[in-house]
Amino acid sequence: MPVVTRGWVTCAVLAAALGSVGAYAQPPEEGLPSEDGQPWYERGGGTDAPDDGAGTTPSPEEEEPALAVPTPPAGETAPTSSPSETSAPSAAAEATSNRSGFFFGSYGRISAVSNLRGGLGRESDIVAFNPRIDEDLYFELELRREDELVGNLRSRIVATVAFTGEFFHLDSEFDENIAVRNLFAEVQNALVDDLSLWVGSRMWRGDDVYLLNFWPLDNLNTVGGGIDYRALDERLDLRLAVGLARPDDPFHRQVDGTVANSGFLPADVVILDRPRTTVAAKATYFLFGRRVERGAKISLYAEGHFLPEGRRNIEFGITEVLPRDGGYVLGGQLGGWDVGNRAFVNLFFKWGRGLGAYNPLGVPFRVGGVMDSSRAREALVALSANWETGPFGLQVGAYYRNFRDADPNVFDRNHMAEGAVNLRPHVWVGNHAGLSMDLSYQALQMSALDEVTGKVVRGGVTKIGFIPFYSPFGRGTYTRPHLRIIYAATIRDDGAQRLYPFEDPRSRQSVEHFLGVGAEWWFDSTSYGF
Amino acid sequence: MVVRQHQLRVLTPVVLASLGLGLFACVDDWRDEVIYQMLVDRFANGDPGNDHRLDPSPTSLARFKGGDWQGVIDQLDYLEELGVTAIWISPIVLNVDADAGFDGYHGYWQVDLERLNPHFGDLATLRTMIQACHERGIKVVLDIVTNHLGQVFYYDINRNGRPDEFLAGGYPTNPGDPQAPAGTPVTRITEYDPDWDPRGIQSVTSLGEAGPAPIRFFDMPEIYRVPPRPVVFQRPESYNLRGKVTDWNDRDQVVLGDFPGGLKDIDTTNLEVRDEMVRVFSDWVLKLDLDGFRIDTLKHVEHEFWQDFSRRVRERLSAAGKDNFLMFGEAFDGDDVLVGSYTFPGEMDSVFYFSQKFQVYDEVFARGGPTANVQRLLDQRATNYGSEPQELGIGISPQEALINFIDNHDVPRFLWRNADPRALRAAISYLMTQQGIPCLYYGTEQDFAGGNDPANREPLWWSGYSRDGETFRWTSRMARWRRTYPALRRGDFNLRWTTTRTGDEIDAGILAFDRQYEGQYALVVINAQGNHPSETRSPENTAMTVGAAAGTVLVDLVTGDRFTVGADQTLVVEVDVFGTRLLVPEDQVVAE
């Protein structure tokens, strides 16, 4: 049996079993062996499901998270970003087995939604990682070149372009927001078997919480390189990546115009240029082996963040020193799966300090004279689970997060606790249609006091939704594409309404509707596990 | 094509000069020169490559028009034919490009004293221009400014960190006193250019004054409105910070106040400022092989600065082999005493003869006033002007080397005051023959007639660089005679006839003088009024006496008429309205 699963992030086997498949490769039912005699989840081929770990839900996401309406602090927005790299490089390695050539993959979702008040439906969340039933437009296009070389040596070049925002047919603006999400080259089985090297710009991430559109643990977007190694008869995955990120914001970069040495046009001078270096390491151990019907894994994860000292101009003659800064993330994940029941559960833990408490592409908060992030911290617990039996299924997503920014204020809107619980039971009607119900509750509490109530700022949002859908590739929670009708009712409590500016109608609306049609697809994309 | 060949020809000297190999051009006697003042932006456009932000409208004379140093190179034949032997070019250094809808085309809004203004070309072109001038015997005088910079900062009077114009006042005069006036006067304040305050510009809040106003430099690199250089000018202590001059009779304001338009007054008592002034401007001389400085706004800087600056510049240039370097300045004032005060030992080689401009060229030639004004001024010269050459200077006393001019870029053109070009040509006659150094403002030869700034700054290309006009040809002839007859350049100066009469009298408008130099003799008789021909005799029939010996036959170079000096050295000649007779002894006439 060919080895087809080589990812760093584990548990994808079950995810694959649960039906995250390419548009042109319907996974066999119930994990039965495929035509070539292999279990379908171990079969190579770019259109198959992620191979590498239960809970790796194929749900890429756009860079900008669907923020809670009262815009959460930048640090909070960070973890939600970016498509999954779930079992990324290794899975693609599987995809390359027995073939060379150009490959195309995609993830996307699109919807046309009304708020039943004459306007477009929109997100209505208050927490950073919110239930995704009312999510926005987003899609990725990926082109890869994969080659089998001598021996086991394989290479691939991956380019992924992502689009977000409102599309032309909606806003009549003939432009889109475009970003290059992946642009890297990778060599597998380089130097020694099971060793992969990659260099480039890459989304680097592990398992997600699909319902919350959220990668709780490893979720990096950097330009750099990495090494991946699988050992102990594939029971141990080791990953190491080093990358740079230099967001174009005043905390990292400042460019001033000056009089050029010649000619008439001013010249730009880079005053501040201090990229953040991030080192990330992850070790995953499969307790009962990687390719078992019922398995478990444990992951340990760490990040180090390093930001050199810098100096920027405030105005002429006044400069400001930005001191050296740093931070770390420590985390872990426990996961288990049962292929037969198409079930998995993942439990995540994360602790971040300093820069590690923020989005690596974000700007740490600055209040007054706070010039470094050493006081900031983030504690996070998250859960993702799935269970299917017969025509019934249940998805679960939840998280709790406690965040404090870098300033010493005790009462602060950037000192908060928040969380969400999202349940999505569904029932299949035949092999291609089904009905999902989406129930969620999200809540937020800040240490700051509300000037109106005299109490801490807090709010809660309950959502009830129904999603009739059609799945041409058949059953499976993670089978795609899905064509859907979506209805969601958002119910805000008083506190949630007060989170909006008074002029925003939502500050006076306790109920908001979201009704429309939508579609979601994914196939053959590294964003969800190749 | 000629230009390109010329550039090639001067390439070697340019390179050698840049290596400091002592190819400096030196002037023998500045009295031999005819200076031509040009605003580079308005003289000739030779390089379309630097035509940046031009406003092509003929009415918008406050905007860039495109002239450049390449244009000067291209028009050297024109200058040569006009008889010019020296050019005074407008400032070359980087300026604030635009301010309040006006452009810094003139060069007086300096922002970086060590960099060239790209509107006019680059260093190679400027060097080429100067070398090309030198090859033709044309000297180059650079206009420099030490008094102020452009509007590079504003006074943050209300301390809100941005430039404002606002109303202030109405503050309680004495909050505890019910009898106190209700409030201080309400005044309009502009942080760009606030009015004079002898204490220094004060900040104000809604409650009243709040101490010295801080200054904040602009950061607008797209128009070069940036913190100035050298870096000494980035320090508040390099400025006087007292606001705009509002009373020109207040000497403190004149010296310490900002020049109207927001031009920030430099503290020239600051020794670091002085060091940098000497360094940067001397460097330009050595880098470019300049022949002189025309120095702006003399009277707005204290004498001590000029004494220090002049001495140190001369010492440095002399040590580098640059002799006879002319430094003359502008004291824009009709007060002859004040103007002359900058010519005493240790200061200027010369000054613009502003008092003459007002009392003679305006009053006599433009308005038909009494030529006795000339005598009155001359009588004051020995008292008001330095009589000794400056040490390491040009070797000529200021009294003999005053810069005579009819008009310039700061005053309306002559023809704006008197539209009769014959009057202008009469003025040119005096300019070219009187004692001192003539300085002709560009466009005068083309009968330009613009009024006050900027109307008096017309592009010269509007004239087509015509050499056929009567004023051009007259100027050229006068310059040629001046060159040919050394008495007209270097000779002593003896007034032979002036008059207080301006009406129908026989001698109304007569101005006559003769000059002698090493045996050479010239007699000039000008009729400065346009009503009737006049003669060199009084209504009482007293004839003019001259310096030529009795019996000398004098030939009028203008008409060819001959006159014989009477036995008692008297001579009566008639001169047509606004006419000139230039008489030299028959045996000294040089065939043309």
The DSSP H or E segment spanning B77 is helix B76-82
Q: Check residue B168 and give its pLDDT.
A: 81
Q: Check residue A71 and give its pLDDT.
A: 30
Pick the range with the lowest mean pLDDT from A82-86, A504-508, A514-518: A82-86
Question: Domain containing B342 — which CATH number?
Answer: 3.20.20.80
Nearest to A264 among B52, B122, B161 (CB): B52
Q: How far apart are CA A271 and CA A353, in angstroms?
A: 28
Average pLDDT over residues B115-132: 96
Q: Check residue B137 and give its pLDDT.
A: 96
> Which position has the higher pLDDT, B515 or A78?
B515
The number of beta carbons lying within 10 Å of the beta carbon of residue A505 is 12
Is the pLDDT at B521 greater than 60, yes or no? yes
B562 reaches A (C-beta below 8 A): no
Q: Check residue A467 and give its pLDDT.
A: 98
Q: Inspect the interface and report whether the beta carbons of A317 and B217 lie closer than 8 Å.
A: yes
Q: Would B70 be classed as within a structural domain?
A: yes
Is the pLDDT at B378 greater than 90, yes or no? yes
pLDDT tens for each residue of B476-491: 999 999 999 999 999 9
Q: Would B263 be classed as within a structural domain?
A: no
Q: Would B261 be classed as within a structural domain?
A: no
B53 reaches A (C-beta below 8 A): yes
Half-sphere exposure of residue A397: CA atoms within 13 angstroms, side-chain side: 26
Q: Inspect the interface and report whether the beta carbons of A264 and B112 lie closer than 8 Å.
A: no
Kindly report the CA angle at A477 between A474 and A478, in degrees rounded to 5?
85
Question: Chain B partners of A315 at a C-beta cutoff of 8 Å?
Answer: 161, 216, 219
B492: three-class secondary structure by DSSP: coil
pLDDT tens for each residue of B255-276: 999 999 999 999 999 999 999 9
Is the pLDDT at B534 greater than 70, yes or no? yes
B421 in the same domain as B296 = yes
Looking only at the bridges linking them, the beta strands covering A101-114 and A138-148 are antiparallel
Q: Check residue B314 and give its pLDDT.
A: 97
Is the pLDDT at B429 greater than 70, yes or no? yes
Q: Check residue A82 and give its pLDDT.
A: 30
> Which position has the higher pLDDT, B447 or A318?
B447
Q: Would B19 be classed as within a structural domain?
A: yes
Is the distance from CB of B397 to CB of B30 less than 8 angstroms? no
Nearest to A259 among B161, B217, B221 (CB): B221
Is the distance from CB of B33 to CB of B27 less than 8 angstroms? yes
Is the distance from CB of A201 to CB of A223 less than 8 angstroms? yes
B474 in the same domain as B495 = no
Residue of chain B whose Cα is closest to the Cα of A267: B221
> Which position has the higher pLDDT, A290 or B32?
B32
B480 in the same domain as B384 = yes
Nearest to B234 among A263, A267, A317 (CB): A317
Residue with tokens 């008639």: B574
pLDDT-derived band of residue B19, with 50, 70 and 90 as boundaries?
very low
B321 in the same domain as B452 = yes
Residue of chain A whose Cα is closest to the Cα of B217: A316
Q: How far apart are CA A320 and CA A161, in angstroms?
A: 37
B189 in the same domain as B143 = no
Question: Chain A partners of B50 at a C-beta cutoff of 8 Å?
Answer: 264
Is the distance from CB of A500 to CB of A459 less than 8 angstroms? no
Q: How far apart are CA A291 and CA A283, in angstroms?
A: 18
Is the distance from CB of A430 to CB of A415 less than 8 angstroms? no
B441 in the same domain as B478 = yes
Is the distance from CB of B192 to CB of B152 less than 8 angstroms? no
Q: How far apart are CA B205 and CA B207, in angstroms?
A: 5
* Matching CATH number, A12-528, of 3.40.630.30, 2.40.170.10, 3.40.50.1820, 2.120.10.30: 2.40.170.10
Q: What backbone phi and psi angles, to 5 degrees, belong to B43?
A: -85, -55
Q: Inspect the interface and report whether the beta carbons of B227 and A258 lie closer than 8 Å.
A: no
Mean pLDDT of chain A: 82
Q: Check residue A314 and give its pLDDT.
A: 85
Is the pLDDT at A20 greater than 90, yes or no? no
Write the DSSP string, A342-398: TEEEEEEEEEEEEGGGS-TTS-----TT--S-TT-EEEEEEEEEEEEETTEEEEEEE
Counted domains in chain B: 3
Distance from CA of A268 to the nearest CA of B (A): 10
Nearest one of B247, B250, B238 to B113, comparing CA atoms:
B238
Q: How far apart are CA B380 and CA B334, in angstroms?
A: 13
> Which position has the higher pLDDT, B181 or A210?
A210
Is the pLDDT at A24 greater than 90, yes or no? no
Q: Check residue B305 and give its pLDDT.
A: 98
Residues of chain A above pLDDT 70, percent: 80
Looking only at the bridges linking them, the beta strands covering B35-38 and B437-441 are parallel
- Domain ranges in chain A are 12-528
The DSSP H or E segment spanning B487 is helix B487-490
Q: How far apart are CA B475 and CA B482, in angstroms?
A: 10
Q: What ipTM does this complex have?
A: 0.76
Nearest to A257 among B52, B118, B222 (CB): B222
Q: Inspect the interface and report whether the beta carbons of A257 and B224 lie closer than 8 Å.
A: no
B216 reaches A (C-beta below 8 A): yes
Average pLDDT over residues A413-426: 95
Residue of chain A whose Cα is closest to the Cα of B152: A316
B343 in the same domain as B429 = yes
Q: Inspect the interface and report whether the beta carbons of A259 and B118 lie closer than 8 Å.
A: no
Distance from CA of B360 to the nearest CA of A (A): 44
Residues of chain B above pLDDT 90, percent: 90
B376 reaches A (C-beta below 8 A): no
Residue with tokens 């979601």: A520
Nearest to A264 among B118, B217, B234 (CB): B118
A318 reaches B (C-beta below 8 A): no
Half-sphere exposure of residue A170: CA atoms within 13 angstroms, side-chain side: 15
B125 in the same domain as B172 = no
B214 reaches A (C-beta below 8 A): no
B473: three-class secondary structure by DSSP: helix
The number of beta carbons lying within 10 Å of the beta carbon of residue B569 is 17
Last residue of a domain, one of B203, B221, B256: B256
Burial zone of B484 (CB within 10 Å; 0-12 exposed, 13-18 middle, 19+ buried): middle
Question: Domain containing B572 — which CATH number?
Answer: 2.60.40.1180
Average pLDDT over residues A81-101: 45
Is the pLDDT at A79 greater than 60, yes or no? no
Q: Provide CB contacts within 8 A for A110, sequence distance 6+.
A: A137, A139, A167, A518, A519
Question: Chain A partners of B118 at a C-beta cutoff of 8 Å?
Answer: 262-264
Q: How far apart are CA A400 and CA A402, in angstroms?
A: 7
Distance from CA of A254 to the nearest CA of B (A): 15
Average pLDDT over residues B164-173: 81
Torsion angle in degrees (nearest 10) through CA of B471, B477, B482, B484: 170
Looking only at the bridges linking them, the beta strands covering B93-95 and B110-116 are antiparallel
Question: Chain B partners of A263 at a C-beta cutoff of 8 Å?
Answer: 118
pLDDT tens for each residue of A369-408: 778 889 999 999 999 999 999 999 999 999 999 999 888 8
Residue of chain B whose Cα is closest to the Cα of A262: B118
Q: Check residue A363 and give its pLDDT.
A: 72
> Which residues 122-161 of B are in CB contact (within 8 Å) with A?
122, 161
Is the pLDDT at A276 greater than 70, yes or no? yes
pLDDT-derived band of residue A362, with 50, 70 and 90 as boundaries?
confident
Q: Inspect the interface and report whether the beta carbons of B219 and A257 lie closer than 8 Å.
A: yes
Pick the range with the lowest mean pLDDT from A19-23, A57-61, B102-106, B179-183: A19-23
Q: Check residue A98 and give its pLDDT.
A: 59
Instruction: Write out the two tokens for B162.
Output: 């941005």
Distance from CA of A315 to the nearest CA of B (A): 8
Is the pLDDT at A190 greater than 80, yes or no? yes
Q: How far apart are CA A24 and CA B453, in angstroms?
A: 80
Is the distance from CB of A307 to CB of A324 less than 8 angstroms? yes
Is the pLDDT at B414 greater than 60, yes or no? yes
Burial zone of B288 (CB within 10 Å; 0-12 exposed, 13-18 middle, 19+ buried): buried
Q: Inspect the interface and report whether the beta carbons of B216 and A267 lie closer than 8 Å.
A: no
Q: Which amino acid is at A195?
A: L
Nearest to B219 among A263, A265, A316 (CB): A316
B286 in the same domain as B353 = yes
A277: three-class secondary structure by DSSP: strand
Q: Check residue B25 and give its pLDDT.
A: 58
Nearest one of B267, B294, B287, B291 to B38, comparing CA atoms:
B294
pLDDT-derived band of residue A365, with 50, 70 and 90 as boundaries?
low
B130 in the same domain as B15 = yes
Q: How far apart are CA B233 and CA B227, in angstroms?
A: 8
Burial zone of A253 (CB within 10 Å; 0-12 exposed, 13-18 middle, 19+ buried): middle
B58: three-class secondary structure by DSSP: coil
Looking only at the bridges linking them, the beta strands covering B86-89 and B35-38 are parallel
Q: Which of B226, B232, B238 to mutate to test the interface with A (most CBs of A within 10 A)?
A: B226
pLDDT-derived band of residue A167, with 50, 70 and 90 as boundaries?
confident
Is the pLDDT at A155 greater than 90, yes or no? yes
Q: How far apart are CA B4 and CA B308, in angstroms?
A: 42
Is the pLDDT at B21 greater than 60, yes or no? no
Q: Give whole-number Cα distances, B482 to A6, B34, B224, in Å.
A: 99, 9, 44
The DSSP H or E segment spanning B276 is helix B271-288
> Which residues 259-298 of A are in CB contact (within 8 Å) with B?
259-260, 262-267
Question: Chain B partners of A260 at a C-beta cutoff of 8 Å?
Answer: 221
Is the distance from CB of B416 to CB of B450 less than 8 angstroms? yes
Question: Chain A partners of B226 at a C-beta cutoff of 8 Å?
Answer: 258-259
Residue with tokens 């002085």: B274
Q: Check residue B111 and give its pLDDT.
A: 97
**Omega prior to B230 cis, within 30 of 0:** yes
Nearest one of B329, B337, B343, B251 to B292, comparing CA atoms:
B329
B224 reaches A (C-beta below 8 A): yes
Mean pLDDT of chain B: 94
Q: Which domain holds residue B542?
A: 491-588
Residue of chain A whose Cα is closest to the Cα of B49: A263
Q: Check residue A5 and give its pLDDT.
A: 29
Residue of chain A whose Cα is closest to the Cα of B123: A262
Question: What's the sign of the alpha-carbon dihedral A360, A363, A367, A371?
Answer: positive
Q: Which of B219, B225, B232, B234 to mutate to test the interface with A (most CBs of A within 10 A)?
A: B219
Q: Check residue B392 and give its pLDDT.
A: 96
B455 in the same domain as B322 = yes
Q: Which of A264, A265, A312, A315 to mutate to test the interface with B (most CBs of B within 10 A)?
A: A264
Question: Chain B partners of A259 at a C-beta cutoff of 8 Å?
Answer: 94, 112, 115, 221, 224, 226
Distance from CA of A311 to the nearest CA of B (A): 18
How many residues appear in chain B?
A: 592
Residue of chain B whose Cα is closest to the Cα of A316: B217
Q: How far apart are CA A109 and CA A520, in angstroms?
A: 4
Q: Which amino acid is at B375?
A: Q
Q: Inspect the interface and report whether the beta carbons of A256 and B216 lie closer than 8 Å.
A: no
Is the pLDDT at B418 greater than 90, yes or no? yes
Q: Which amino acid is at B376?
A: R
Average pLDDT over residues A70-81: 29
Burial zone of B510 (CB within 10 Å; 0-12 exposed, 13-18 middle, 19+ buried): buried
Question: What's the sign of the alpha-carbon dihedral B248, B250, B254, B259?
Answer: negative
Q: What is the distance of C-alpha B511 from the center of its chain?
A: 25
B276 in the same domain as B397 = yes
Q: Inspect the interface and report whether the beta carbons of B222 and A266 lie closer than 8 Å.
A: yes
pLDDT-derived band of residue A30, with 50, 70 and 90 as boundaries?
very low
Is the distance from CB of B347 to CB of B299 less than 8 angstroms? no
pLDDT-derived band of residue A263, with 50, 70 and 90 as boundaries?
confident
Is the distance from CB of B481 to CB of B488 less than 8 angstroms? yes
Nearest one of A158, A135, A138 to A146, comparing CA atoms:
A158
Residue of chain A whose Cα is closest to the Cα of B231: A317
